[in-house]
Amino acid sequence: MGTTMAGTQEIVKQIDRPSTDALRIFAGNAYPALAKQVAEYLGVKIGAMTATKFADGELRVKVEESARGNDVFIIQPTCAPANDHIMELLIMLDAFKRASARRVTVVIPYYGYARQDKKVKPREPITARLIADLISVAGANRVVAIDLHAEQLQGFFNMPVDHLYGGPIISRYLIDQGFKDDGDVVVVSPDVGGVKRAERLAEALGCSFAVIAKRRPEPNKVEVVEIVGRVNGKRCIMIDDMIDTGGSIIGGADALIERGAQEVVATCTHPILSGDAAQRLQASCIKEIICVDTIPIAANKRIEKLTVLPSHELIGEAIRRIHLNESISELFNDWG
């Protein structure tokens, strides 16, 4: 007996409908604790995989379970040591491609090398584009990232990119702390490039925003030139995508206090905290440093002033929606 048109359509519908049984979460060595939290949120187990080193330091990756036909998500921020974690990610991608995974999505809460996104001087590389090309060639079908250093970085990938925002996580915390609709509050961008981020947070809190104009005489060195906006007598909330050495945030906070700010709270998505940044922040005039856990933070960097907000629910919900072909943008209807 032949299949009717209606019966054929029903079969196609069943084939196209995603099944949560095919969802697999795998983690590299960059941040397994975060991957475990995401897996628990989704109600799945972390996939079995070996990721070690040979005696000579070369990386060894082996997927210990079948990946054929599965929708695989690899959670791997490319944080320090960035080169090891990037190479491990590339090898993992190759392993899953050769294991016949149906789709491989790379979840990169923090995208390393993102600051090298343009040529500033002659004969400089655009390393952020190089890393994007490597991820593509290695076999990724999709990328998920949180607060890329510049949103234009999405264009470096020749595949779909789901750009998640850490701002709503930070804004909800600040609202709970009583910063919403307070006339004494002002959101401050530490540089001109972060104006959009500051504007979004200011809208969420119902307050004004200001901008610090600065110059960089050399990498990781900043000089405050001017502050555009009223900060005298205000409770200032500085927002940036990352805090690395802390020089930009600390210098900006000092300038705000010098211009009459009541207090300064610093926020960021990615707490890189290189070198003695954590200790310098603890000793600074900043009242509190709020960040999101996109990067593992060593115990000696978890200073008293540091507040770490969880990201696993955001990442888990994004993974669930991607797997079920649902909208990601709906997560941020109230954010910009």
Active site residues: 214
* C-alpha closest to that of 248 among 282, 272, 275, 212: 212
Alpha helices in 3-102 (DSSP H): 5-16, 32-42, 82-98
If you search the block for the tokens 């080193």, which residue do you land on? 53
Would you say 308 and 268 are in contact if contact means Cβ atoms under 8 Å apart?
A: no
Sign of the dihedral through C-alpha 269, 254, 288, 233: negative
In order of 100, 110, 169, 179, 245, the CA distances from 172 in angstroms are: 41, 21, 5, 10, 26
- Tokens standing for 94? 């190759």
Would you say 68 and 101 are in contact if contact means Cβ atoms under 8 Å apart?
A: yes
Alpha helices in the chain (DSSP H): 5-16, 32-42, 82-98, 127-138, 167-176, 195-205, 247-258, 277-283, 312-323
Phi, psi angle pair for 74, to nearest 5°: -105, 120
Q: How many CB atoms lie within 10 A of CB 128?
A: 22
Would you say 228 and 210 are in contact if contact means Cβ atoms under 8 Å apart?
A: yes
